[in-house]
Structure 1
């Protein structure tokens, strides 16, 4: 009798995706975000997706010598490593030595560990804008010489160099955000585990297209106010925050208002302007985060792909056509003028 070709004792599933997660120069906010993923059991969810977390500083029990031994096995090739995830910027100071950030128990700069492990990994993933571009860790004059894995702000290079490719032939995957949405991280790892991705699924800054080909503006609950250029004037107002409050949702590449945080929130829904945290250089905007710089009364940061002349013409026309209801609600902290009741059924014009 021939054996069952799909025996329950044999698994046809590919080998799990072995992931090593390191934290470098940063606040740990991307891990905090991941721990708030909208799943009942994060470890179980990852396991069911075929993801084997070799070690994560917040999810794993191992510490000390046990972890150092694991890192040595990964760096030597004794332990297979599919994905090296790095959270936080690479700290290269002082004077390029990396000694501002030594891995505890080793006396070796974290940037040296990252260099060794990146050469062994099939894929390298920068988790968060600090790891991708330098982010908040590279704020101002950047005295710690922090940078991203493959970018230094918006310039290719970073720690690993512009020409770096992983064992699978990929550049660093930049899951940018400050912090990252937990879904961006989980979906990226799941796509790698399923073999469902190619480098073409990354945008020109090597961010996953499934979220980076969207704009924060998409799905924003303030879009009616944006259409009529009915603007908020203070933080509690309901109106559009682009004109006066510094919102960059029309320029920021992310799906924050269609893939909500914790199932129901986003920055703009909470009354905070989008600061474009998925973009390189967001930490040094050249102005206060809560203010919109203008030239001759026109916002400098225009919506993506919109010529200035078109914006001026559209804004002027929109403001002149703003319904009184929208104008009143824009500078209120609650709806003071509800929509007028009106029949939407077309009249029967038949003879």
Structure 2
């Protein structure tokens, strides 16, 4: 699919997008991109879509011809994007997910195209690490492109390098924020994305250099350890309701989703969906495991003794306004300027 308005006189980058074991939620999120929308982004980056299951008109025989040519190296692919986990079952055969009309396991098609692509991008936590698709005992034997959960492995492995010299670029999230993909695409198109721009899980630092905690509207409650008790309460959800915003690497509360919100703004705790293994924490997503009353999952880089000491001091100094409001869905005490007499 050519994108009207790509830069004339220059060779556009060619993007091929495949979907494997997943729900398609990352594509749905991407289609909701605003300022710019995805088509504007593609034009700005001088990228044409060779094929995308939701954006392209080609289907059936025509689509298979495109993918086969890409797998054989006859169609140039600058950016291969995979959405969804690679399916290896049953029994390592890959036959749980076949390329329609070919009898070929989809994983073989993905690997063949990746061997020719300049860049390979895992879009979403399923493609990066296995994600939700690999949960629940993993009956489909699903995994990521370079990782199986936290372990190196996957279809391509951590030693894989695209023709441009980079490992698999893991835009992890469930689903991704459209801005994370847009940032990465523009960096690739400009030729500025390097290994130094990726974190320890090969996720773009453009969004993982921050914590979800940064910009959270509940930070005042966190500072004084004024905690919510049930979903819908205003207080901090770390102590009782499983929030991992102080550990999760993403800018969800700085760069609002759809221009207006985040999981926390929607009164649900952060489940750290950009991290490998988030899908099976070993407890309910809205539960905070504790030992002797202390949460197991402490804020990133904070020693337990410091947290206990600071939490005790904070709770001792909690303003009445926060204590009263934390376990309520709406404020009962509002901030007030003390210079104004009642």
TM-score interval (norm. to shorter): over 0.9
Would the alpha carbon gap of residues 41 and 318 (structure 1) be closer, same or farther in structure 2, given more than 3 Å must change?
closer
The normalised TM-score by structure 1 is 0.93
Contact 2:183–2:206 at 8 Å: present in 1 too?
A: no
Unaligned runs of 5+ in 1: 1-10, 345-351
- Rounded to whole Å, the distance in 2 between the matches of 1:302 and 1:230 is 16
2:79 equivalent among 66, 79, 83: 83
* Cα contact 1:92–1:98 (8 A) shared by 2: yes
Which residue number corresponds to residue 119 of structure 2? 123
Q: Which has the larger radius of gyration?
A: 1
Give the aligned partner of residue 8 of structure 1: none
Work out which of the residue numbers 320, 323, 335 in structure 1 matches 2:319. 323
**Which residue in 1 is equivalent to 2:272?**
276
TM-score, with length taken from structure 2: 0.95
Q: Which range is displaced more, 40-49 or 193-202?
A: 40-49
Write out per-residue CA displacement over residues 211-265 of structure 1, whole angstroms, 9 at most, x where no aligned residue: 0111000000000000000000011100000000000000000000001100011
**1:241 match:** 237
Equivalent residue for 1:196? 192
- Residues of 2 paired with 1:106 and 1:334: CA distance? 57
Specify the alignment match of 2:213 in structure 1.
Answer: 217
How many angstroms does 1:88 deviate by? 0.2
Determine whether 1:291 maps to 2:287: yes
Would you say 1:154 and 2:145 are equivalent positions? no
How far is the alpha carbon of 1:196 from its aligned partner? 1.8
Structure 2 residue 303 is matched with structure 1 residue 303: no
Go from structure 1 to structure 2 and tell me whether the alpha carbon gap of 1:339 and 1:247 turns closer, same or farther (over 3 Å shift).
same
Give the equivalent residue in structure 2 for 1:64: 60
1:224–1:157 CA distance, 2 compared to 1 (3 A): same
Alignment deviations for residues 56-114 of structure 1 (CA, whole Å, 9 cap, x no partner): 10111110111111112112222111010000000000111100000111111110001
> In structure 2, how many angstroms separate the alpha carbons of the residues matched to 1:332 and 1:213?
33
Q: 1:43: how far off?
A: 2.1
- Deviation for aligned residue 1:45: 3.1
Which residue pairs with 1:348 in the alignment? none
Aligned to 2:3: none
Q: 1 CA distance for matches of 2:50 and 2:329?
A: 48
Q: How far off is 1:14 after superposition?
A: 4.6
- Structure 1 residue 44 displacement after superposition: 3.5
Aligned to 2:41: 45
The 2-side partners of 1:123 and 1:111 are apart by: 17
CA contact (8 A) 1:83 1:123 kept: yes
Partner secondary structure for residue 49 of structure 2: strand
Which runs of 5 or more residues in structure 2 are unaligned? 1-6
Q: CA deviation at 1:53?
A: 1.1
| Alignment counterpart, residue 309 of structure 2, candidates 307, 313, 326 | 313
Check if 1:25 corresponds to 2:21.
yes
Paired with 1:343 and 1:64, the residues of 2 have a C-alpha distance of: 72
Q: Which residue of 2 aligns with 1:98?
A: 94
